[in-house]
Structure 1
Amino acid sequence: MTRTATAPRLGIRANLAQFSLLVAVNGLVGGVLGQERTVLPLLAERTFHLTGYTFLLTYVLAFGVTKAATNYFAGSWSDRFGRKPVLLAGWLVAIPIPLMLIWAPSWGWVVAANVLLGVNQGLTWSTTVIMKIDLAGPARRGLAMGLNEAAGYIAVAVTAMATGYLAAHFGLRPAPFLLGAAYVAMGLGLTGLAVRETHAHARLEATRHTARPDGRHDHLHAELTNRQVFGHTSLREPALSAASQAGMVNNLNDGLAWGLFPILFATAGLSVSRIGILAAVYPAVWGLGQLITGPLSDRWGRKHLITAGMLVQAAALALVALAGSFGAWVVAAVLLGAGTALVYPTLLAVIGDVAHPVWRARAVGVYRLWRDGGFAVGAVLAGVVADLWGVRAAVWVVAVLTAASGIVVAIRMYETHPKRH
């Protein structure tokens, strides 16, 4: 007796087992990223004796450029080859990363490891986003993205704190990166053995796709070419392009937090363990907050949450620049995490709202190209400004850019939620 494939159904509840598995897989993806948050800036300064913030931030630049480019290809490849093969490829790329960080004899090895990390994160995180949008269907995209991003960034936070503890007690190498190696092994095993393909769910949704009543999306046809998808997501379509610039600025300030905050805190005399706590608080609030903000965007709509989130982030960055104590920086980290939580899953939900299911994976790839390009822009901008005028000046510049991005969203984006426009 031959086994027949189960017909795909849309909805989180209808696909709860696979959806939950993909949440866990994305937690492991976040853990691979989190192994670097606390340790790498300190490794640059104390082991490799790097001077000059621009040179120190080369690893953030390498990560941002490769992740941004890989995001774009992950979207088109997942349509061409299927979601699961792309996810599996991302885990295979991750295998040498912890080993390179453990044994790196020079900073060039660290930069090379971050090139591989960018490819890993682009393939795995993009694909888990696409797969959850496939499974969830149109009704609960905000909730789906909130759960996805929460899993990833809670794992970043937990791993940042854990690696800070390991580094304080056992040294900067190898203990913190052994945790990353365990994440890679688990992610590869779960993906190979248990994750199932979701492309059929997107095709099913395409057959049920209905036009927006106000006719706003009538020019966005199912048969768009790759070039047209890139143009609409980057510039032409107001909501998609506003989301892309907001995503870029959001990750610009995340790149600043990743690369320069530990150095700022260290120069203020904080211990490694306290730096680890600060490195964890921001992504922890970001991660947990998305469990609230994702579903909230399904009830209240997308636009105003994004605008508010960018302005809260700007205020948090201003507080980082002004403060000089552990307590004040904890408050700033909480605010920065809360602002990012308002923005992060909601921007992905906007892409899912506007893009047709046939080219949605490619739109996600283009959006994530711009969003994660913010790491590279942030690394260069923050590094140059910090070298010229100091770390606090770099934080002020990024705070102003973040506030301006929120104003652009308020002016250019329209409400995209199907029940709120």
Structure 2
Amino acid sequence: MQTSNVKHALFCAVITLVISYPILGLNLVPEGTFVGLEGASTTTLIAILMAAVAVFLFQLFRDSIMAALGRVPKPSVAPTAGLSDQTRLKLQNLALIGIIAVAAIWPFFASRGAVDLSTLVLIYIMLALGLNVVVGLAGLLDLGYVAFYAVGAYTFALLSQYFGVSFWVALPTGALLAALFGLVLGFPVLRLRGDYLAIVTLGFGEIIRILLNNWTTLTGGPNGIGGIPDPTLFGMEFGRRVKEEGNISFHDFFGIPYDSVHKIIFLYLIALVLAVITFFAIRRLMQMPVGRSWEALREDEIAARSLGLSRTGVKLSAFTIGAFFAGFAGTVFASKQGFISPESFVFLESAIILAIVVLGGMGSQFGVILAAIAVTILPELAREFSEYRMLIFGAAMVLMMVWRPQGLMPMRRIHINLQKQE
């Protein structure tokens, strides 16, 4: 064992203690008009010490541990590897039809809380599929994607508040306005890539959030906007009493007792239809020349330009289409919550959506959907660990990057085997 390894391991352990102890080992305690400091519990201090020891041991035996992990067989998610592309596509389509059918019937037998959580899952699926176009397919690192999400939500909230616009009119309007913002963002970043592109998009997301926070006369600022109307079904409202003159309530029309679950199920079905539209629209775009152009730009921008591809058109199309589906999701989110504020669209949301794309496998639609389900549902199943949610989330990201960097279900590429002629 080399002395340099011991020094490095000791240094990492000390850094862990220096960072962890002030954050976890000290608590702020109010003392009248002052605030005092007191030490954490013995259990917390032991946990900090154990974390430092774990870091020390890992850094000390890092090479051996990484070599052992490299020998662990990688999970295989391609049981149809021996089938032809046509047969595999048919099986995928049949599986999709079955999953969609089950998803459409499921809310009528599930609890209200489960259906409400599933609506949130579908919103994140739409967001992740949209960001997958920008990051996974076009290779453009966007850290301000939540801005387009906010544009869609606030478009519906403002139009309904000032002009009485319904959900069905605001849905395409919010998506188109978000796409316009994506187009506007695309122009300043045409010549940027990598870290510089990430910084500019991050700044754009913060500009939108701060604008919504400070423009109190229009957006309400930190107070947000409430009273956002629910979607209607051919003029039928799902509330106990009708709000719009000329409409009729859903339960009165069908002669059934009022139940608030009806609105939850209806919102879920709307989100399901929009998620399916998002999936198939992006899937179709991936098979078209524009989808091939995104992948070509991601792999090698110089080679793509030498083939005659317009860098301007390819980047703008990726930003615009990705923002369009974020606007879709934002409108559904505003209707689901009934209240929105700038705090719903912080940078952490962009980070979570980006993490979903990375965990699922950049460019892989099925992987992104699987990761969105896992990231959204797992924290709800482990509420007792809610304080350590981001710590667990970060550890999962690190393990994924070490063990399976290509994601849960990596994007499958078509390979052509050329036989050598003698």
Shorter-normalised TM range: 0.3 to 0.5
Q: Which has the higher strand share?
A: 2
Which has a greater percent of helix? 1
Bigger CA radius of gyration:
2
Higher relative contact order (CA 8 A, sep 6+): 1
